A = this chain, B = another copy of it.
Amino acid sequence: MTCGPLIDGLQYARWSEKVFRQMREGGVDAVHVTITYHENFRETVHNIEQWNRWFETYPELIFQGRTGADVELARSTNRTAIFFGSQNPSCMEDDIGLVEILHTLGLRFMQLTYNNQSLLATGCYEDEDTGITRMGREVIAEMNRVGLVIDMSHSGEKSTLEAIELSTRPIAITHANPANWHAALRNKSDIVLQALGQSGGMLGFSVYPHHLKAGSACSLQDFCEMIARTADLMGVERIGIGTDLCQDQPDSVVEWMRVGRWTKSIDFGEGSASAPGFPEMPDWFSDNRHFGRISEGLKATGMTTDEVSAVMGGNWLRFFENSFSATADISGKGPRTAE
């Protein structure tokens, strides 16, 4: 284990006391959790209500994170700070005013697309990527203003490069791996990764088997060596972990993730007709207690202790500190600052 913060850049577990206790056992200080996929605004609020119940029920284990400082609070009180994110912009419907509303409710990441074309950008599964839409440009500016991070994990290449260019604040790809290591539609080209790194953005490395070379059989060593090479490509300060852990979820959930309400047919996404469900996790990572193995694996690649610490959470912490406040607050011109 490292002595710096331990932060996971994306999880979508079937949340339970068991999972929250495993976060504590694993020393996880903060997790960006997906709270919504294709749910509209009201449905997303209902999901937040469920989270509020968990926060009320397990205050000794978890609390809602809103700022980078909440990671330090989590560490000093031995709890895990939970930061909300959406994997699709369905939650903001066609209403730019909902960007600030969702931020007020604690949303800190929002993907502009989830595989398909959205009102804002093109997903990575579309044949044609037309880039950021007219509304997408407006929403990027609004997300920049309020402090809601643009996440392009499931977006197409052109849309991702345009988002990096248009956004005045660094963006994130919270859960994906380099396509040069494993050529999946969801993994990212060197061009994207370099542009992301140069713009101050962050990549979170995914442990979801469809993103791994050799899938569920991927070795810890191979995963960690891929991280070390990506550090050379992007800069070691631009990378973190984003496991995409979907622990304990039934297969009906992966179907919702893939199909939502956009088709009456079945779409298998990264799966297939013969393997439609969640893939089996690699044997070295199945829950929040196993981050120490990744730390050890990174050390074994020759990374320094400081580098490992940065990748395991230090980089995400810096990114959280710089990303979640309104630009007006940062500039000192905000409504809560004395004039």
Residues of A within 8 A of B (CB): 41-42, 45-46, 48-50, 52-53, 55, 59-60, 63-64, 73, 76-79, 95, 97-98, 100-101, 104-106, 328, 333-339
Please give me the residue from chain B that is nearest to A101 by CB atom. Answer: B45
- Shortest beta-carbon distance from A30 to chain B in Å: 14
Contacting pair B97 A105 (CB below 8 A): no
- Note all chain B residues with C-beta closer than 8 A to A41: 42, 45
Also in contact, A101 and B335, with CB within 8 A (given A42-B41, A59-B328, A328-B59): no
Contacting pair B336 A73 (CB below 8 A): yes
Give 5 CB contacts A-B under 8 Å: A41-B45, A52-B97, A52-B100, A77-B337, A104-B106
Copies of the chain in the assembly: 2
Please give me the residue from chain B that is nearest to A106 by CB atom. Answer: B104
User: Shortest 7 CB-CB distances between A and B: which pairs?
Assistant: A49-B97, A63-B335, A59-B335, A52-B100, A77-B338, A77-B339, A45-B101
- Note all chain B residues with C-beta closer than 8 A to A48: 101
Please give me the residue from chain B that is nearest to A64 by CB atom. Answer: B335
- Note all chain B residues with C-beta closer than 8 A to A105: 101, 104-105
Contacting pair B335 A98 (CB below 8 A): no
In the bound assembly, the distance between CA atoms of A177 and B59 in angstroms comes to 43
In the bound assembly, the distance between CA atoms of A337 and B337 in angstroms comes to 24
In the bound assembly, the distance between CA atoms of A335 and B79 in angstroms comes to 9
Most buried by B among A52, A78, A328: A52
In the bound assembly, the distance between CA atoms of A291 and B338 in angstroms comes to 25
- Note all chain B residues with C-beta closer than 8 A to A336: 63, 73
- Shortest beta-carbon distance from A59 to chain B in Å: 5
Also in contact, A335 and B45, with CB within 8 A (given A101-B105, A104-B105): no
- Note all chain B residues with C-beta closer than 8 A to A55: 335
Contacting pair B339 A98 (CB below 8 A): no
- Note all chain B residues with C-beta closer than 8 A to A98: 45, 49
- Note all chain B residues with C-beta closer than 8 A to A76: 338
Also in contact, A49 and B100, with CB within 8 A (given A42-B41, A42-B42, A328-B59): yes
In the bound assembly, the distance between CA atoms of A98 and B42 in angstroms comes to 10
- Shortest beta-carbon distance from A264 to chain B in Å: 27
- Note all chain B residues with C-beta closer than 8 A to A45: 41, 98, 101
Please give me the residue from chain B that is nearest to A53 by CB atom. Answer: B97
- Shortest beta-carbon distance from A43 to chain B in Å: 11
Also in contact, A339 and B60, with CB within 8 A (given A41-B45, A42-B42, A52-B97): yes
In the bound assembly, the distance between CA atoms of A338 and B335 in angstroms comes to 28
